[in-house]
Amino acid sequence: MRNEQAIDALIRVLGADLVATGLGIPDRRHGDWSGVPASVPRALLRPYSTGQLARMLHICNEFGQPVVAQGGLTGLAGGACCAPGEVAVSLERMNAVEEVDAISGTLTAQAGCTLEAVQEAAGAAGFLFALDLGARGTCTIGGNLSTNAGGNRVIRYGTMRDQVLGIEAVLADGSVIGGLHKMVKNNTGYDLRHLLAGAEGTLGIVTRVVLKLHPQPRSVSTAWCGLPNYEAVTALLQRAQAELPGGVSAFEVMWPGYLDFMMEKVKGLRAPLPGRHAMNVLMESAGADDVHHPAAFDDFLARMLEEGVIEDAAVARSSTDARSLWAVRDATAQLPVLLPGMAAFDVSFAIADIGRAALECEALLREHWPNGTALVYGHLGDGNLHVIAHADGGRPETRAQIEERVYDLTRRYRGAVSAEHGIGLLKRKVLGHTRSPAELAAMRAVKNALDPKGILNPGKVI
Amino acid sequence: MRNEQAIDALIRVLGADLVATGLGIPDRRHGDWSGVPASVPRALLRPYSTGQLARMLHICNEFGQPVVAQGGLTGLAGGACCAPGEVAVSLERMNAVEEVDAISGTLTAQAGCTLEAVQEAAGAAGFLFALDLGARGTCTIGGNLSTNAGGNRVIRYGTMRDQVLGIEAVLADGSVIGGLHKMVKNNTGYDLRHLLAGAEGTLGIVTRVVLKLHPQPRSVSTAWCGLPNYEAVTALLQRAQAELPGGVSAFEVMWPGYLDFMMEKVKGLRAPLPGRHAMNVLMESAGADDVHHPAAFDDFLARMLEEGVIEDAAVARSSTDARSLWAVRDATAQLPVLLPGMAAFDVSFAIADIGRAALECEALLREHWPNGTALVYGHLGDGNLHVIAHADGGRPETRAQIEERVYDLTRRYRGAVSAEHGIGLLKRKVLGHTRSPAELAAMRAVKNALDPKGILNPGKVI
């Protein structure tokens, strides 16, 4: 009833074009990549401007109408799914790159812009926008910020929060936070930008951002390394960070079961190295020139080979070579098809703990599900481990048991139950594994302060 | 009265050793480096543990007793000064480096540890702790985090908030936020670490931190460059970031009036270059080796000279040379003596705006105070400008007029009234020049949510 009043008021004030209902809502707005069963939104709000969104939220807040902000719907935690009666907001009509400021090294974009469009606009101006992830063509900058997205280059450039200098956002009551600044340093009170980053649309809806741009690297060197043990992996990481000019731009680690599985199951993959190694690392370094940097990269690997840190290495001599090495890591995109009903984890630990945590995780999965599959890989420099576990044909009950055990292990190692995918709906029950009761109480207090009626993405995160 | 009850309760529960009063309070706890006239604290709380601090804040909160967290008292905005009747907290007894985790690349320290002690512990383990500023021997890690300290190396490593992986803090009600994690990636709800960073002790008191360590550079190259105009300065910055291996670790810009003044007034300074240039840049780049990197640095400068980006350059050939160049920049430490009663600004702008903003600032100061002194310099890569203005013998009324005009200019350029020193007491009146009414309202809501009785550093920031 109240619900109908809110929709009526929205249509009356903003018009049917901005407030779609029923068949006017595209199918793809019904759910995200998480597989969470979602409801059709009661209405889909598609503003052209921050002012329109402000009026929308003001009305929803008046009526206590719940609102779910949706970006490209590529999330894996159900953070953008609607419950019955909820209204969705999409900024797909606010998708412009508004400015590239080549002197300040900034790009200003509307939140509905895809990550790829931002990357391309930065590239056309001779810059690099550093965030990158597989969903780049679909996910949006607003979603990237709201989930504090990560990806492969975090080790060099940080997560999404580190790419943002200024934000404009609309709060639950329709007030507009106007902080579209280009300053690198701004110590003027509380940092609302960092508060909204990673809040998954529960504290406000980001409408525009000022992003930091980086110089484009002049060369990229890539190698696959085979190593004898986890200690060698952490040694290689530290040595590479210290001794390679420009450090490391990607450091992807794969345990041997991962490689065995991919080589068997995925057609067209080429084994990076002839032998089998206890650990595998795909390492990338971006350089400021294309002569000395590749030479320094080769020298470094030769040194590591000589010192026994690595057992073998394959250096990419062309972009085709590099793509072929990355294909082994990117084959994870095929996992949902290869292992339907799999449990997928995105956890993080102190780097010093990862070796033991990974072994223990593999062992407990093998112990309880000896015929199952367990794959372990991750962005090691960020302490971010991905674990894939599949048993009993992917039955939901088995998945739930696996999740309980792996999240329990994460808690014991004082790790994070989500390194980059976020909490959304799916990980709410294990949020307390990582955050203390006092932290959860502080989070709730902040939520109540900024959204006293609880209309923004209710039931998500906390 | 209520005040006396709070002190009595503190002494009764915690004992006189933890709760000093009267002559038991050292003189140096009476004020900070800002020159703000401060009161003697009603009591000085010096806990040995987080648990003791939690009990202290619980009692203060019960009685509504205001509490001011004090670090090394080197702040320049009056953020750690006590008003009459307020109680000070010092973590000087919680000053241990608890752990260096060489595998994870982290250092865990208590908040009362000096910055220098952290730098030394990191160095002894073969790492670099990247934050550095002049007050290093006195300022504390807790104060650094609470003010989100900056310094000379922000361009390469970020501000203090970027050095912190985990925090433990006590909130107003005595609850302990236990987030001492070592994870680089942790997307589990709101980021309280970033909320407390830069909050100047108004939201909680940080007790322990996990800090990120970096590899020590193998070589550092330093040069002084003379340039024809501001456009050349931004060109040099961008080219250096793109073309120098490892980029730029310091990029300090000085307008010519700065150099003229320092050469005339400060004894023992050597002019870095024979000629006078429209702009001066002190540039530093840290390298991963001591052969190729210095050569690449020289090549780069030769290229810039040939292309006309720079007019002249002096490259440091020894650490003595480098110190001599830095002495010209670090001569700012003498300004309070050379220009007593000066107005000092720590503002930031978009890099593209700085050239015009600096000229306009100099012009308006010259127009109104033709016999005054105006010095402009700053951390250009961070958009951070320092302006020093002195006229009429440093009379307070003149200083107030200068401040009004310079902060008004900052507002017109949509800059920040504090880039790194914070708001504290001194800049509260101009906070609205940078933050919008909706932002201020959101900040107040967050403050009320986490500190409903307003006991933490009342009257500061907002």
Whether the predicted pLDDT of A3 surpasses 80: no
Question: Residue A138, Cβ neighbours under 10 Å: how many?
Answer: 16
What are the 10-residue block averages of pLDDT along chain B, 462 residues in total? 85 96 87 84 97 98 97 93 95 98 98 98 98 95 97 94 98 96 95 97 98 97 98 97 95 96 96 97 96 96 98 97 97 94 96 96 96 95 95 95 97 96 95 96 98 97 92
Is there a contact between B185 and A161 if contact means CB atoms under 8 Å apart?
no
Please list, in sequence order, all residues whose beta carbon lies within 8 angstroms of the beta carbon of residue B91, skipping any fewer than 6 positions away. Answer: B46, B47, B53, B69, B71, B110, B111, B112, B140, B142, B205, B207
Query: Are B161 and A197 within 8 A, CB to CB?
Result: no
> What is the CATH architecture assignment of B219-333?
2-Layer Sandwich (3.30)
Choose among B309, B154, B156, B238: nearest CA to A103: B238
Is there a contact between A188 and B435 if contact means CB atoms under 8 Å apart?
yes
Return mean pLDDT, chain A. 96
Chain B residues in contact with A250 by the CB 8 A cut-off are none
Chain A residues in contact with B243 by the CB 8 A cut-off are 218, 288-289
The CA distance from A358 to B27, in Å, is 54
Q: Which of B185, B293, B417 is nearest residue A245 as measured by Cβ atoms?
A: B293
In terms of CA atoms, which chain A residue is nearest residue B292? A292
Q: Crossing angle for the helix pair A230-243 and A351-368, nearest 10 degrees?
A: 150
Please list, in sequence order, all residues whose beta carbon lies within 8 angstroms of the beta carbon of residue A228, skipping any fewer than 6 positions away. Answer: A277, A278, A279, A308, A311
Is there a contact between B462 and A189 if contact means CB atoms under 8 Å apart?
yes
Listed in order, the ranges of chain B carrying CATH 3.30.43.10 are 2-92
Distance of CA A428 to the CA centre of its chain: 17
Q: Which of B188, B288, B418 is nearest residue A187 as measured by Cβ atoms?
A: B418
Q: Which of A186, A190, A383 is nearest residue B199 as measured by Cβ atoms?
A: A190
Tell me which fold the domain B339-438 belongs to. Alpha-Beta Plaits (3.30.70)
Half-sphere exposure of A13 (CA within 13 A, CB side): 18
What the block records as the tokens of A211 is 């992003």
Task: Give the pLDDT of residue B9.
Answer: 97
Q: What's the rounded mean pLDDT across residues A161-189?
A: 96
Query: Are A205 and A169 within 8 A, CB to CB?
Result: yes
pLDDT band at A191 (very low <50, low <70, confident <90, very high): very high
The CA distance from B32 to B15, in Å, is 27
pLDDT band at A2 (very low <50, low <70, confident <90, very high): low
Query: Are A97 and A178 within 8 A, CB to CB?
Result: no
Q: How far is B85 from chain A (nearest CA, A)?
A: 25
> What is the CATH architecture assignment of B2-92?
2-Layer Sandwich (3.30)
Residue with token string 């980029």 = B247
Which residue stretches of A50-150 are H helix? 50-63, 115-124, 141-146
Give per-residue pLDDT as tens, B28-50: 887 888 888 888 999 999 999 99
Listed in order, the ranges of chain A carrying CATH 3.30.70.2740 are 339-418
Chain A residues in contact with B353 by the CB 8 A cut-off are 104
Tell me which fold the domain A339-418 belongs to. Alpha-Beta Plaits (3.30.70)
Is there a contact between B446 and A448 if contact means CB atoms under 8 Å apart?
no
Burial class (CB in 10 A: 0-12, 13-18, 19+), B133: middle
Give per-residue pLDDT as tens, B120-153: 999 999 999 999 999 999 999 999 999 999 998 9
Q: List the beta bridge partners of residue B418.
A: none
Chain A residues in contact with B54 by the CB 8 A cut-off are none
Q: Does domain A97-215 have CATH number 3.30.465.10?
A: yes
Please list, in sequence order, all residues whose beta carbon lies within 8 angstroms of the beta carbon of residue A444, skipping any fewer than 6 positions away. Answer: A462
Q: Greater confidence, A186 or B1?
A: A186
The CA distance from B246 to B242, in Å, is 9
Q: Look at A28-37, A436-445, B245-254 and tell me which has the smallest mean pLDDT.
A: A28-37
Q: The complex's ipTM?
A: 0.96
What the block records as the tokens of A344 is 């997928």
- A2-90, which class in CATH? alpha beta
Q: Chain A to chain B, count of Cβ pairs less than 8 Å apart?
A: 308
